[in-house]
Amino acid sequence: MRIDVLTLFPGMFPGVLNESMIRRAQEKGRLTVNVRNLRDWTHDKRRTVDDKPYGGGPGMVLKPEPVFEACDELLEESTHVVLLTPQGNKLTQNIARDYVECSHILLICGHYEGFDERIRSLADSEISIGDFIMTGGEIPAMAFIDAVVRLIPGVLGEEVSLHDESFNEDLLEYPQYTRPEEFRGQKVPEVLLSGDHKQIEQWRSRQALQRTRKRRPDLLRETRD
């Protein structure tokens, strides 16, 4: 998979892209990430990317010209363009899975007060990471990359761990424990020490359902709908 990120702040990305799972995915040849500075597609001395909105109002709006010119250069026949915006579909585990088969993804990070509406015509999809406002699309882009890349076969190494994670069955993950068996008065549940894999699986299923009912009942409602 190749991911190009179109941003005004490329310096925000190296710490995320050069650590942990994303770094290993690149080392294994499963992923290539290119962070592109949108100002490289401007033509004036000040490298201007924004302007005042027509009709008045606060803030500045991202201009269409540099975004369109960047897409003219970067887009290929197989490219899927994702616009990071609070108006997009909320990123979920199921949505992240939809992108795993993409060979090339171009992420466009918005900034300032917003972007010229004509930029939307470039996008194949629009993604939000939640119902809140951020300074720009850079952190949502990092979240998107992390959520999608870890689903690429062979990136994590243990496919079983993917199956057991939260949201994979529309449920939150069951409680996990490790050594020591008792810590500050809190003990590991006896069933996990029993060696009875069938009982352990049943316990984990019950715990996942109970935790979801208590913390995220909306997930159960969505499943029923």
The pTM of the full predicted model, rounded to 2 decimals, is: 0.88
- Least confident range from 36-40, 208-212, 221-225: namely 221-225
Calculate the alpha carbon distances from 149 to 12, 128, 135, 139, 144 in Å: 18, 17, 24, 15, 8
Distance CA 130, CA 112 (A): 18
Distance CA 127, CA 91 (A): 6
Q: Domains in the chain and their CATH numbers?
A: 2-149 (3.40.1280.10), 166-224 (1.10.1270.20)
pLDDT above 50 (res 220) = yes
Q: State residue 160's pLDDT score.
A: 43
Token pair 């300074």 in the structure block, residue: 135
Please compute the mean of the pLDDT values over residues 100-119 and round it to a whole number: 94
One-letter identity of residue 171: L
pLDDT above 80 (res 58) = yes
pLDDT digits (tens, 9 = 90+) for 17-41: 999 999 999 999 999 999 999 999 9
The DSSP code sequence of 171-186 is SPPPP---S-SEETTE
pLDDT above 70 (res 166) = no
pLDDT above 70 (res 162) = no
When pLDDT is cut at 50, 70 and 90, the band that residue 169 belongs to is low
